[in-house]
């Protein structure tokens, strides 16, 4: 998957949802950590949309225990043709042993999104820049999801997004929570290359997500001219 232009990922724990996402999404984010039998589901997948495989670890807001089986499952996912990208947490690379997953995915033709989440706050601007820098260095896309308490938090996230994008890094950013919701629509204008929305609105995978059709419409409407994020 090339993340040169904006990718709208429909997040789900059930790959059978894929037909419902086709009209609006560019990819499916398969939340393996929230699925019953994720590897079986991947084998049975015959959908059209490419898959981003995420197996989010518990300490980063997911359901997957921090065991070797988690990173091994990500590797197995990367072997599938339909899996065009996997998502690995920055912390698991820096503090754990997940660096091998990045190499394994690349060897199997999958891109890597290196992600970092703050479920409590929006860090100060220098920290935002540092996190994005590090994530982009380790992955094909560096992703930063923070929690906004005020619209000023969103402004700082957008500024960091813009700076990374202008500096040539490929990044994806979003501010979680109510105050941050609009960031999901506007961040693509500042260089964010991935947006997430649930296939089923009742099964949001993060606070403040728009439903899929709404995010697609907002991003498309806000995109200005050729090459804009919704193109």
Ligand X SMILES: O=C1C[C@@](O)(C(=O)O)C[C@@H](O)[C@@H]1O
Which residues make up the interface to ligand X (CB under 6 A)? 11, 29, 31, 54, 87, 115, 143, 145, 174, 176, 196, 205-206, 209
Residue found under tokens 């989440």: 117
Least distance to ligand X, CB of residue 152, Å:
19
Which residues are within 8 A (CB) of 66 and not within 5 positions of it... i.e. 6 or more apart? 57, 58, 59, 96
CA distance 171 to 169: 6
Known catalytic residue at 193:
no
Residue 115 or 164: the one with the smaller Cβ distance to ligand X is 115
* Secondary structure of 170-206 in HEC code, one letter for each residue: CEEEEEECHHHCCHHHHHHHHCECEEEEECCHHHCCC
Known catalytic residue at 143:
yes
Residue 18 or 29: the one with the smaller Cβ distance to ligand X is 29
29 is in an annotated binding site: yes
122 is in an annotated binding site: no
CA distance 89 to 75: 14
Residue 52 or 82: the one with the smaller Cβ distance to ligand X is 52
Residue 122 or 209: the one with the smaller Cβ distance to ligand X is 209
Q: Residue 134's closest CA among 100, 103, 171?
A: 171
16 is in an annotated binding site: no
The active-site residue out of 121, 143, 182, 200 is 143
Indicate the residue whose CB is closest to ligand X.
Answer: 206
Hey, what's the torsion of the CAs at 162, 94, 75, 42, to 10 degrees? Answer: -50
What residues are labeled active site? Answer: 117, 143
Residues of the binding site for 3-dehydroquinate: 29-31, 56, 184, 205, 209
Q: Which residues are annotated as a binding site?
A: 29-31, 56, 184, 205, 209
């Amino acid at each position: 998957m090339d993340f040169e232009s904006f990718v709208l990922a429909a997040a789900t724990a059930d790959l059978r949802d894929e037909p419902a996402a086709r009209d609006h999404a560019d990819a499916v984010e398969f939340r393996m950590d929230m699925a019953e039998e994720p590897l079986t589901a991947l084998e049975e997948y015959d959908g059209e949309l490419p898959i981003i495989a995420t197996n989010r670890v518990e300490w980063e807001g997911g359901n997957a225990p921090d065991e070797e089986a988690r990173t091994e499952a990500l590797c197995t996912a990367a072997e599938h043709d339909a899996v065009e990208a996997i998502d690995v947490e920055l912390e698991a690379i820096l503090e754990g042993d997940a660096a091998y997953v990045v190499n394994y995915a690349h060897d199997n033709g999958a891109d890597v999104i290196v992600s970092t989440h703050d479920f409590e706050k929006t860090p100060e601007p220098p920290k935002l820049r540092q996190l994005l820098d590090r994530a982009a260095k380790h992955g094909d896309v560096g992703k930063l999801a923070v929690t906004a308490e005020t619209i000023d938090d969103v402004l700082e996230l957008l500024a960091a997004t813009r700076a990374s994008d202008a500096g040539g890094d490929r990044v994806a950013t979003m501010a979680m929570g109510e105050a941050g919701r609009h960031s999901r629509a506007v961040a693509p204008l500042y260089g964010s290359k991935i947006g997430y929305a649930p296939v089923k609105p009742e099964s949001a995978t993060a606070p403040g997500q728009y439903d899929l059709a709404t995010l697609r419409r907002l991003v498309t409407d806000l995109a200005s001219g050729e090459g804009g994020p919704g193109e």
